[in-house]
Chain A
Amino acid sequence: MIATPSPTCMLEPAFHPAGVGRDAIGLGQSAGRGLDVRHGTILTLEDISVSFDGFKALNALNLYIGVGELRCIIGPNGAGKTTLMDVITGKTRPDRGQAWFGETLDLTRMSEVEIAQAGIGRKFQKPTVFEALSVFENLELALKTDKSVWASLRARLSGAQKDRIEEVLTTIRLEGSRHRPAGLLSHGQKQFLEIGMLLVQDPQLLLLDEPVAGMTDAETEFTAELFKSLARQHSLMVVEHDMGFVGTIADHVTVLHQGSVLAEGSLEQVQANERVIEVYLGR
């Protein structure tokens, strides 16, 4: 991949209470490799609406995520968080609206596979790993490489690739279980394996759906550290209910309610917002 020259300014993300400023969000160090991110936004969602049999899951939603940003999405159940991820990853087509990855890639016209190959990784709410394969093989499959049929028929791991897998195995603390079938891992280990798979996939934008659900406090803390170290290099969008976790990691928090953005800002700002208190945090 060719690295495009990227701006190196280290602006603290400027913040608009209305939360719609497109160029307003900070620029991380690494812009997308090959991805056109001139304006510093890696993901642009404008006026997105999705309805299922009359129920509006997403309603004229606008969302911008900057390069290198770590964004948390919170919201009550049914606010449209998972549908939002489905739209970004191409699983659900929006009825209306635009979705851009970088400046040039129209997500509404791409298949799920194309979107994944373009550099959006996703971790599911329920950890999904390939249970019949070993931990090592799981990572091998996720590894960023040519994923066509022909390539896989002749594929051999290079030394560098093996090193990368080993490195990630260490990061996710599964180096001792590399030959165990993934189906035998504990829930928390599966969560980490899935995160590890995202790491070797090396996407520019990571979508993480409730990544710390079912983790112990120590694991949660470790995950928070991991995510913070990932930001700047990658852009992250984390859907999470655990406010403590959100507080530790988030630059920005977006509150979804009934399919649209209710508020955006730092955690304190959001928590102080009257309407947010009303619909979500409770009085």
Chain B
Amino acid sequence: MDVWSSLMDGFATALTPMNFLYAVIGVILGTAVGVLPGLGPAMTVALLLPVTYALEPTSAFIMFAGIYYGGMYGGSTTSILLNTPGESSSVVTAIEGNKMAKAGRAAQALATAAIGSFVAGTIGTALLAVCAPIVVKFAVSLGAPSYFAIMVLALLAVTAVLGSSRLRGFASLGLGLAIGLVGMDSVTGQRRLTFGQPLLADGLDIVVVAVAIFAVGEALWVAAHLRRTPMHIIPVGQPWMGKKDWQRSWKPWLRGTVFGFPFGALPAGGAEIPTFLSYVTEKRLTKHPEEFGKGAIEGVAGPEAANNAAAAGTLTPMLALGLPTNATAAVMLAAFTSYGIQPGPQLFASEGPLVWALIASLFIGNLLLLLINLPLAPLWAKLLQLPRPYLYAGILFFATLGAYSVNLQAFDLVILLVLGALGFMMRRFGLPVLPLILGVILGPRIEGQLRKTLQLSAGDPAGLFSEPIAVGIYVIIGLILLWPFAYKLFRRTRPARTPLVPANSGAADYSD
């Protein structure tokens, strides 16, 4: 398949008036939720899942993609003007960005963030268009044993690497897998965990689970701890950059992109590590080291580019393998399921036009975001004056509406409340939510691959190791799981060395 011609077809689809309209809606919504505190792209896509019942899949995914990229742009605006980064990936942007804004250079900080995001997003999307088909070509040759191994790897990597406590990550994963079990077993038709309740026989709808965990749980959690002291926002005019700012920005943009994309594409890469690496690199390479810590433009340009390139990178395993590695990708995958589209390597073959239209719309969305963010940044900042009772009441209102419209039965709302309470409890006790959602989504698929594998080998467990790729992946899994113990042992033998990595190794579970 020729990438270029497929992509051009994708542009043709994405530029039809209807789809273009959804791209515009998506980027506007995305920027808005990025700016608004308490709302993120994952929650917004979850709240919008009900539209999948009425919209064409292509239009829906074009809108979701716009929200995904838009959230990144909006997030950088608040982290620069308010110094309250909403997502962990914009923490680094806030370090220098807010200092720049306080020094009266808010316009330049916003400009380098927006243009850098555009550059990195465009390059990242191009890399996605080139890499994804290669990954697919490789992946379609794999059998069930390798698939099983890859999915287990994705699950364990997200659980074990992200978050501050491994133990709590695994607890969350267990809960997610258990939720995924509810309903009729697809092979034998046996009812599992339904407790004789016929309404549970079809399983818990992924829309209800996603809305409960991301929207209801979050709204209740924030409501319980609402920050009452108002903050000041730094007033800003239209973002712009001088010649000197351009000279200082373009290299960090490119370097940030190089850091961001591969990390985003890895099963547990995320955006935090590349943004941090980009910041450290720019600090080391800069010709103005005295400005770092006081508002250096390189410290905004690099991490912001890394953040957006990572966002594009994340879509590679999502589209090519059906593996989500962050919350928004997980909810988008839920949308695929909701359409009855099977995610995985066959996606490019079975839904080629949809996938390419989605990729094309990422290019379009990026350009649209630059156009609506550069001149309108001051306007977006005004959104922060929205009274919060309306904001959080609105989240609950639309969450209820979305969950109810799935089956039009009040029983789903009971589940919404119960799982929302679970989401609240998880936030209270530091259980990460991402492993739970991945468990719900990937659990049934992993079970399917496991059963297929052992069916092929007639029940012989050796069948799991029948493909060399699978064996290789098990070795990687072993390394990930054993790493903290090995690390601890290493530290015990050589206690003089201080760790460079922030403390998110599992060793903390036993000492903190």
A binds B: no
Chain B residues at the A interface, C-beta cutoff of 8 Å: none
